[in-house]
Amino acid sequence: MSTDVTSPTGSVRPAETGAATARAFPNLALVKYWGKRDESLILPVAGSLSLTLDTFAATTTVQLDPAGEQDRFELNGHLATGTARDRVTTFLDLVRSRAGSQSRAIVRSVNEAPTGAGLASSAAGFAALATAASAAYGLELDTPALSRLARRGSGSAARSIIANVALWHAGTDDESSFAEEIPAPELAMVIATVDSSAKAVSSREAMRRTARTSPYFVAWITSTEASLTEMVAACRAGDFTQIGEITESHALRMHALIASTEPPIRYLRPASIEVLDAVVALRDAGIEAYATADAGPNVAVLTRPADAAAVATRLGEILGEDHVRVVGPGPGAHLVPDPVPPAGEAGT
């Protein structure tokens, strides 16, 4: 199909293409997003900044199913139900309302991140879904608009639309809250998987609890704004040491904040602390490495590309080399030609 059609609102839009496949990568925040000022629009209390990775992609095909009565979501070759399916349907409802379409869709997604590796797979997943769904339903979105759309699925997905270092502007409304690439020096990450079991409290729920119960929440917002301003300046100046110092202190502040909730939540495990100590020892030995951790026990270590192998070797001695992986800066979400095969077919 290539003819334009008139939507119910009267504007001309490209016809639904029917199917599209997109690929997106996870990102790791160097200045964290933690807390929403608007739950339904997913507007954050403060801006954040992340590195999009080159590993653990999510690939998602969206195929319109005009005869279908409900959306179908296949994840890693299995039919998804419950919350996972509901979040996809809620997201597609948003795309459908913008496209003026009633059509249900079949969504097939493959996520290359090992289960429980703590790699914000919802970020890669919703960035790929936003990119594929907007193309399949015939929405023509530029990169900021795609970032805004992905944000509605999962806040951190706004950043996975963007390559390399992404600055997510907190904004004050839907229009002003999106991510964009900013210049930065070459960075590498060493991912240390200390525990791959599922987390006890989801980020979404833990953020709510933080806003509701932590006495430190207001200080978190103001200090994050200050950290972000310093981080953006450090990125623009190419100051790796400053980038690293802000990364580690901001991550520790987030975990302190989370531990201050009622009832408390602690994501870091004893093995996480052992890795944090090893990172301090690496610095004492002259290797610049800085730790961060998302809402889980796994630790990611920011370093210069030239030092990544030495950092990986040291962390491998502690955790075993199978638990350590060097990753680099990756591309933004993009369309790809090959669809994800249906569940049950070879390769899924």
Neighbours of 64 (CB within 10 A): 22
For residue 42, state whether it binds ligand DP6 (rule: CB under 6 A): yes
For residue 251, state whether it binds ligand DP6 (rule: CB under 6 A): no
For residue 75, state whether it binds ligand DP6 (rule: CB under 6 A): no
Q: Are the C-beta atoms of residues 231 and 218 closer than 8 Å to each other?
A: no
H or E, element range at 250: helix 240-259
For residue 248, state whether it binds ligand DP6 (rule: CB under 6 A): no
For residue 26, state whether it binds ligand DP6 (rule: CB under 6 A): no
Reported for 321-324, long-range contacts at CB under 8 A and 24+ positions apart, including other chains, are 323/192, 323/193, 323/194, 324/190, 324/191, 324/192, 324/193
| Per-position x/- string for 301-330, each x denoting binding to ligand DP6 as judged by CB under 6 A, each - no binding | ------------------------------
For residue 114, cis peptide bond before it (omega within 30 degrees of 0): no
Q: Please pick, from the candidates 203, 224, 261, 298, the single residue that binds ligand DP6 as defined by CB under 6 A.
A: 203
Q: How far apart are CA 129 and CA 42, in angstroms?
A: 17
Residues 269-298 touching ligand DP6, rule: CB under 6 A, are 294-295
For residue 106, the minimal CB distance to ligand DP6 (Å) is: 23
Q: Are the C-beta atoms of residues 144 and 124 closer than 8 Å to each other?
A: no
Q: Are the C-beta atoms of residues 63 and 18 closer than 8 Å to each other?
A: yes
Residue 218, amino acid: V
For residue 210, the minimal CB distance to ligand DP6 (Å) is: 11
Residue nearest to ligand DP6 (CB): 155
Q: Of the listed pieces 27-35, 64-72, 279-287, 301-309, which binds ligand DP6 according to CB under 6 A?
A: 27-35
For residue 142, the minimal CB distance to ligand DP6 (Å) is: 22
Residues that bind ligand DP6 in the complex, under the rule CB under 6 A: 29, 32-34, 42, 48, 120, 122, 154-156, 203-204, 294-295
